[in-house]
Amino acid sequence: MAHTLPEHPAKLWRNPEPKRSYDVVIIGGGGHGLATAYYLASEHGIRNIAVLEKGWLAGGNMARNTTIIRSNYLWDESAAIYEHALKLWERWPDELDYDFLFSQRGVLNLAHSLQDVRDSVRRVSANKLNGVDAEWVDPDEVAKICPILNTSHDTRYPVLGATWQPRAGIAKHDHVAWALARRCDQLGVDLVQNCEVTGFLKDGDRVVGVQTERGPIRAGRVGMAAAGYSSVLAEAAGFRLPVQSHPLQALVSELLEPVHPTVVMSNHVHVYVSQAHKGELVLGAGIDAYNSYTQRGSVHTIEHQMAAAIELFPIFASAHVLRTWGGIVDVCPDASPIIGPSPLEGLFVNCGWGTGGFKATPGVGSVFAHTIAMGKAHPLAEPYGLERFTTGALIDEHGAAGVAH
């Protein structure tokens, strides 16, 4: 039986003063940082851990995403790590003993052109070869799966079919964070809020700790999991990362009766729509083209996003926007993450997820924890090392997986 939610999430964990020394320090108290600490403690027996968060736990991108979970990516390397994550998502409600409303309602990735159809059918074939559940469905089947979707031929972007992953879905992001925080706390991990990392302690080319607003903290190993600010931290450590930070736009509507049964994504018009458990519509768009650390919506991006959404879902034309926001995402040149050792001994990097971070949470948590514990990349992380940017072995997932989200 899943854990019953307490009256207030703050009751789930302590907020201790940081010690002066830890075996492992994780920078970033979002989903990836918490999941990494959880697996370090539960699978590798390392419990003298501090998760350092400059604000409040899960107050960054973990609270600023659209909660889509799927694994139907094109390339072998991407399918492997996202399918690993999805299998862990399926275990987590029982394993963490917490109901974070994981709903496997499926995801449709729409095709609007002949090239979309070709790319989508290719991706379905690749998914099946990698053991990922995926199907190609025609417009009539799309209409059966999502009756409120406009599948008529008289639209600017007619629906010519879609890929369908039945095991995909959504989860409630804040509940996921609370579940992880509660288990980390039970395992003895220190979750330290309001503790910004401002620099690194080094002994030659080895990182031996971090400098924080609350003083220096020594560490045997340090893991970076601070979405949106990875390049800033890397620069403070003395090296550069091939990532850029961009706002990612999304919004929610007022509460509505349940009408939307699945997740619908369209790469061509670049919008994706689902309905949250409480009833609000959750709509997302692509990243803003400019670099920024602003956590707010851009009117021009939202305007295009809403126009596309209303064409696909005329039923939503009279819905009211409740709230808009922008998450800050790190984007690599090949639209795939970086996971592994940094150029400095003792410092490990997890960044560059772009729009794929939330769905990867359990998978990258287990993989990054293994990498930190063993001092070398987990087999699923090996293709995502920094060296690929010098060898040319890139994993160009940009646009290949039916919107990068």
219 and 286 together in one domain: no
pLDDT at 366: 98
Confirm whether 8 is domain-assigned.
no
Confirm whether 98 is domain-assigned.
no
Last residue of a domain, one of 315, 331, 347: 331
**pTM over cut 0.85:** yes
Rounded to whole angstroms, the Cα distance separating 163 from 126 reads 12
Question: Would you report the helix, strand and coil content of the chain in percent, each value rounded to 5?
Answer: 30, 25, 45
Say whether pLDDT at 201 is over 90: yes
User: Measuring CA to CA, which residue among 17, 25, 351, 37 is closest to residue 177?
Assistant: 37
The DSSP secondary-structure symbol of 7 reads: S
**Which CATH number do you get for residue 305?**
3.30.9.10
348 and 248 together in one domain: no
* Total tally of structural domains belonging to the chain: 2
CB atoms closer than 10 angstroms to residue 7: 6
345 and 374 together in one domain: yes
Residue 13 in contact with residue 98, Cβ under 8 Å? no
pLDDT at 405: 47
Rounded to whole angstroms, the Cα distance separating 169 from 379 reads 26
160 and 216 together in one domain: no
114 and 160 together in one domain: yes
DSSP assignment string, 153-185: SSSSS---EEEEETT-EE--HHHHHHHHHHHHH
Q: What is the mean pLDDT of the chain?
A: 92
Confirm whether 160 is domain-assigned.
yes
The pLDDT tens digits of the residues spanning 338-357 come to 999 999 999 999 999 988 99
The pLDDT tens digits of the residues spanning 11-37 come to 566 778 899 999 999 999 999 999 999
272 and 319 together in one domain: yes
Model confidence at 266, pLDDT cuts 50, 70, 90, reads very high
The pLDDT tens digits of the residues spanning 272-318 come to 999 999 999 999 887 787 788 777 767 778 888 888 899 999 999 99
Residue 318 in contact with residue 355, Cβ under 8 Å? no
Domain that holds residue 56: 16-65+173-242+333-391
The pLDDT tens digits of the residues spanning 143-158 come to 999 999 999 988 888 9
Query: What is the sign of the dihedral through the CA atoms of 179, 2, 358 and 393?
Result: positive
